[in-house]
Every structure is written in structure tokens, then in C-alpha cells.
Structure 1
Amino acid sequence: MVRAAILPAVGSPLEIDGIDIPEPGPGQVRVRLSAAGVCHSDLSLTNGTMRVPVPAVLGHEGAGTVVSVGENVTHVAPGDGVVLNWAPSCGACHACALGEVWLCANALSGAGDVYAKRASDGTDLHPGLNVAAFAEETVVAANCVLPVPDGIPLTDAALLGCAVLTGYGAVHHSARVREGETVAVFGAGGVGLATLQAARIAGASTIVAVDVSPDKEELARAAGATEFVVASENTAREIRSLTGKQGVDVAVECVGRAVTIRTAWESTRRGGRTTVVGIGGKDQQVTFNALEIFHFGRTLAGCVYGNSNPAEDLPVLAEHVRAGRLDLGMMVTEHIGLEDIPAAFDNMIAGKGGRALVVF
């Protein structure tokens, strides 16, 4: 039996309880978690913005050590450090055939499975976003683990599984920021801090961080922001004033709110690019008129998992870490236990801090 944070029903508080996990079957891997990041997507699962079969063990941004493997697993072995990949591509669907593995139609096919039982009453449990990282140990499909690159501590490696892949990919794969371009990043939480660092790595000349909390300025500047703007109804105007009244070349929205997406769009120059990373609900309706779409010639694009291929991108990210260009530790503003996840959700809603990291 191991401890886990269980979501009994959508809209219900998490419950810390023991769960019984089976030994890995063919094509499965059992992992002892070292750390798991608390991501906004986990919050979206608890409140129904995103769907999850319940009861479930959430958590999808994690890293740990392989305890045991089932038959036919050859790319990892007991004792290996691994990063959890919550959205493994199948390699066979239409999106995968196009090379767009981040849009794989079967990436979450295992999320509806029963993978464990609640120790207290035998209730079947589902793995939230495939990997159920809010637990001391988990059992996942073999394609849900990737070897931790050399030189990356396991606790830091947890962030690579979502926040860093998403933020780095938004800049380098989706928006394709070029050296010397100007960038605005909306939201300075975990993904936003990774995005700011990615913009700095890309060689952006001006990097504007936008957040509702003025307390985020020091953290944002440490990640690479050259300017900081407290979000208001004048945000787009302030950003244009910082860029010769033109607007930024690229805006990356990491919040998932209609007003923020609209402001990000308005903050870019004519011909600018806006990449939306934040996950919003169906009630968040963004409106544009036909004339402005023509006149401004801007591009608005969604971004899933940073448009990344984790197997290819993890070694690239690791090289940035080893070279000192990417600081994983600075993104973490609190280390917590499983029982502290609800408070981390509250801080997220209030716009406080960067990434909260569950350390086992």
C-alpha cells in the first residue's frame, strides 16, 4: 500500500488515503515518485474544466525511480530514473503520421482504465492523465516513461514532464521566436516562468512579463523578463509603449481566460503571433470582428503540450540545464507534501507563487 491524493468526484476536495497498486503487467512500469509538480491542468480536472473518470488519482508532472518492469519492457530497468510522459503518442493515428505527435488521438486512451484500488474500501481508481503522479508510487504503460537525462536531479526532472516542455515548446515550436524579436508572456506561474526562460534562450530582445500580482515581478525578472506589467485594462497599451508603440512580435498566453487571450492578441504588432497555452473553459468566449482580422494580419494559434515531442525535446532541455541556460530550481517556490496540494490549488487560483512541488 502507498499513499495518494484521491479525487473522489468532480468538485470534491482531494482525500489522502492508501491505495493498492498491482505489480506491472506486460508493457508496464512501476515507478517510485521522487517529486510531482502541481499544475493548473490538475486544478482543471478537479473543477470539471477538463474531464477525468472518477474516482481518480491526479498528478501528471512527475519523475522518479523504476521499481520493477513487466514483460517486454526494454528501454528502462529497475533503478533507472525516469520522467513521466502523460501524453505518449501512439505513432499510428493521423496526427502522428503527420509528425504532430502532441495531437495524438490516442494519447490519453489509458486514462479511463482502472489501475489501482483504494485500500480502505476496494474502490476502483483511474489514473488522472494516464500517470497518477500524486502518489508515492504508480504503475504506468511503458511509453509513459522516458529516461532522465544525465546530470538532472530527479526532483528537478519532474518539471520537465509538463511545465518546461510546454513553455519551451510554446516559444520554440509554436511561436518560433527568432533572435531579436520582442515577446510578452501572460501569466508568471510554472508554465509562464518556463516560457520566460525559453524566450531568453531564444534571444528575444525585450521580454515583457504580465501578471495580476505585483509580487511576481522579482520571480519573473529572474526567469528572464526585461519588463514587468501588472495586468489591468491598460495592459495592451503599456506593452505597446514598451515596444516603440508597435506591440510585441509574439505574445504567449499562459492563463486560459478570454480577456487575457484578447489582451495578448491586442498586444502584438501588425503581423504578430499569439500562442495560447492556457486551458480555459467553454464559457470563456473570445470575440474578434472580421475587419480587425484582415487589418492587423495577426496569427492566433493554440498550443498543446508545447507542440513538443518529449523523446526528442528532453535531451535538448537537458543540455540547456547543464549549460546553465535553463534553471529548473528557480521555478519552484514551495516544496510540499501530498496533504498540501489543496492549499497549492488555492495559491494558484489567487495567483501566488510559481510551481509548487510535491516532494516524496
Structure 2
Amino acid sequence: MKAAVLREPNKPLSIEEVSISKPGPREVLVRLKAVGVCHSDVHFWDGAFPHELPTILGHESAGVVEQVGSMVSAVKSGDHVVSILSPFCGTCEHCLTGHMSVCHTVNRPLFQRADDDAPRLYAGKEKLNQFLNLSSFAEQILVHENTLCAIDPEMPMDRAALIGCGVITGVGSVFHAAQVEPGSTVAVVGCGGVGLSAINGAAIAGASRIIAIDLSDDKLKMAKKFGATDFVNPKNGDPIEQVKELTGGGVHYSFECIGLKQTAEQSYLMLRPRGVSTIIGMIPPGVNIEVPGIELLVTEKRLQGAVMGSNRFRVDFPRLIELYKQGRLHLDDLVSDRIGLDGITGALQNLKDNKGTVARQVVMFD
């Protein structure tokens, strides 16, 4: 199969012929149809986050099951599926208490092959390291069955793929992590694919005011399609003060969707008392967030993180698809461009350059 291989950080991906193993126990081989290019891929491509090389990036994918290994019960050949980078074991403390999204952070070996087993991916005799349990910048993926959710076969694949990361991260953080209440006020810092999804989720949840915050006026215009009611560009003044002026003291909920120290701290400071700030963006390793300690006590403001929207993806994905069918989840407006496998490096560069017209670029396979 063809795949885009990362061999050196911040260099063009190499389009290569790569071999993929047959499915073993609880493994599923999927022929991919669409893969979103996510900003998280950029962080690993440019070296901001370390990963063993060589590897195949990509993690936001949808396709059709080609073959299943022994003991697989979740999907069958011919199923249309969406993948996720946060699989679950179903038996650990986190899964049993309803927090499946963090299972993979402590049980990672369960979803990968042992070191002495044949690798899932290889080029000649060279092992390729699997990225986030998936490695989706390729024509096929071989994954643990608990990375997949079967979906309605009528769902368009390019929009279905987006649900697997950007959409569930944004919408899920609103629904599950923050539990936004109808009539409340919301601020979303950063209007890329995840931020736009958070805005969309806040609109579905019934927030009365949704403030979109971004340095790009183009992205602020996009945010209106997803449900934003107010717009703040930090170029026009302190975003904290702008938000407080718009809301009479601050928002009930804020979401940081960029991954910077400054914007994470701003998202906390724009809260009203007892407000909740949820950090969604990928804060680089070694970076600490500082907030006034006395405010945590006196105002009862809360600062929390959410990985992959605190998802329960086999429940969430079908529900999100239903919201899309109803016209309430605006996946059509998220797709900025459709590209081939050889266009991935350019797509990553577009995201790194923060081009204002880019929400999600999607790799399409025939």
C-alpha cells in the first residue's frame, strides 16, 4: 500500500510503498476512504512533540473493514467505520467508571503488538512505528478493534472522518467535560477545526451567547456559521477585557483550543465566579500554566483538561452523525479542501502557517 512516511521532523513526508500485516487476535484491517489532516499531526511533524521515527502520521480516519482477526466482535467485514486514537479496554478503573477516553494513557500496550511480535507496519525489513494506535496517512490501517466504531453506511466518508478527532474533541468537551448548560455563556479561544466544533457543540447545547476568539478575521467569519454570536479579535484589545465587557463580568464556560500558555491562562481569566475553563489544545511538554491561586479559592473558578472530548465514542459517534443528518452539526462547512496523499505535507504547512481559511483538509482515497 502507499503511505506518507515521516522520517525526519519538519521535512516533507515521503510517499512510499509500505507493507501491512494480516490481522491477529482482536485486530482489524481497514481500507481507508478519507483522512482529516489535524493540527495535532503538525505538532509531531515539526518535532514539537517527540515520537519514534520512522512513523506514519494521521489519526482522523474513516473507511471500510476488509478483514478481521480472531476474537473480534465489534465490527465485521464490509462495515463502514470511524477510528479514534483513544481506544478502551473495557475492564480498567477508568472504563468501569465511565472515563474511557483516558484508558489508552495508562493501558497503551494493550492496543499494540508486543515488541517480539511481527510489526503491523514495515518497509522492506524496516519496522515503522505506529502513530497514536492508528497511522492513518496510508491506504490501510491495522488496528485493535476498540479503536473503531461502525457507522451508518450512508454517511459521507469525508465528513465521517472528521468526527474521529476534531469534532469529538470540540463537541465532546462541551457535552461531557464542561457539561454546558442551556442559557449559559461560552467563550472559545481558537477557531480552527476543534474550536469551530466546540462552538457548534455550545450552540447545540443551548448556550445563549457564544464568543469566538481568534486573531484571524476569516476564522471569525467562519465561526458565525457554527453558531458564534459574538466575535473578539485580540488585535483590537485585551481579549479578557473584551469578553468581560460583552458578558458583564465573564463567561460561565471557556474552551482553549490552541495549546499555548498565554491563551490557556487567558481562558481562565475570562471566567466569571464558578466558571469552568477546559483546556483542549495540546500544551507542549514542559510548559506550565499559571493562574492566581487565590482565585481558585475565593471565586471557585475551575481549570480542567479534556482528552478527545472525554468521549464514549461508540455512543457518541452515531449520535453526532444523527445531529449531522438533522442539519445541526455543520460538518460540510468544516471541509476546506480535499487532497490526495501527496498533498499532506502542504496541508500540514498550511496549518502550521495558520492560514485563516483552513478548517479541515481531507485526504481522499479512491
Pairwise same-fold verdict (TM > 0.5):
yes
Partner of 1:199: 202
1:355 — aligned with what?
A: 360
State how 1:261-300 maps to structure 2 within 5 Å.
261-300=264-303
SS of residue matched to 2:314:
helix
Verify the 8 A CA contact 1:3 1:135 in the aligned structure 2. Answer: yes
Aligned match of 1:238? 242
1:255-312 residue CA offsets vs partner (Å, 9 max, x unmatched): 1100001111111112211000001113433222322333332110011110111011
Taking the aligned partners of 1:210 and 1:235, their CA distance within structure 2 comes to 8
Q: 1:140 maps to which residue? A: 143
Unaligned runs of 5+ in 1: none
Tell me whether 1:247 sits opposite 2:250 in the alignment. Answer: yes
The alignment's C-alpha RMSD in Å is 1.8
Q: Distance in 2 between matches of 1:347 and 1:228?
A: 23
Question: Is 41-50 or 211-220 further displaced after alignment?
Answer: 41-50
- Provide TM-score, normalisation by structure 2: 0.92
Offset of residue 22 of structure 1: 2.1
Q: CA deviation at 1:25?
A: 2.3
Shift of 1:12: 4.2
Equivalent pairs, count: 356
Q: Is 2:111 aligned against 1:106?
A: no
Counterpart-to-counterpart distance in 2, 1:183 and 1:80 = 38
- Matched to 2:197, the amino acid is A
Aligned to 1:92: 91
- Selected match of 2:134 from 131, 134, 149: 131
Deviation, 1:66, is 1.1
1:1-360, aligned counterparts within 5 Å? 2-104=1-103, 105-107=106-108, 109-110=110-111, 114-118=119-123, 121-149=124-152, 151-232=154-235, 234-244=238-248, 246-352=249-355, 353-360=358-365
The answer as to whether partners of 1:53 and 1:111 remain within 8 angstroms in 2 is no
Shift of 1:46: 2.2
8 Å Cα contact 1:336-1:358 kept in structure 2: yes
Name which of structure 1's ranges 42-51 and 213-222 shifts more when overlaid on structure 2.
42-51
Q: 2-side partners of 1:124 and 1:254: how far apart?
A: 34
Measured after TM superposition, the shift of residue 10 of structure 1 is: 4.2
Q: What is the CA–CA distance in structure 2 between the aligned matches of 1:333 and 1:36, rounded to whole Å?
A: 13
The structure-2 alpha-carbon separation of the partners of 1:199 and 1:165, relative to structure 1 and needing over 3 Å to count, comes to: same
Q: How much does 1:124 deviate?
A: 0.9
1:75 and 1:288, CA in 2 relative to 1: closer, same or farther beyond 3 A? closer
For residues 111-135 of structure 1, the C-alpha deviation after alignment (integer angstroms, 9 at most, x for no partner) is 57631112xx432112111111100
Q: Using the TM superposition, give the Cα deviation of residue 229 of structure 1 relative to its aligned residue in structure 2, in angstroms.
A: 1.2
Give SS of 2:349's match: helix
| Cα distance in 2 between the residues matched to 1:27 and 1:101 | 18
Amino acid at match of 2:229: T
Q: Secondary structure at the match of 1:130?
A: coil
Gaps of 5+ in 2: none
Shift of 1:328: 1.0
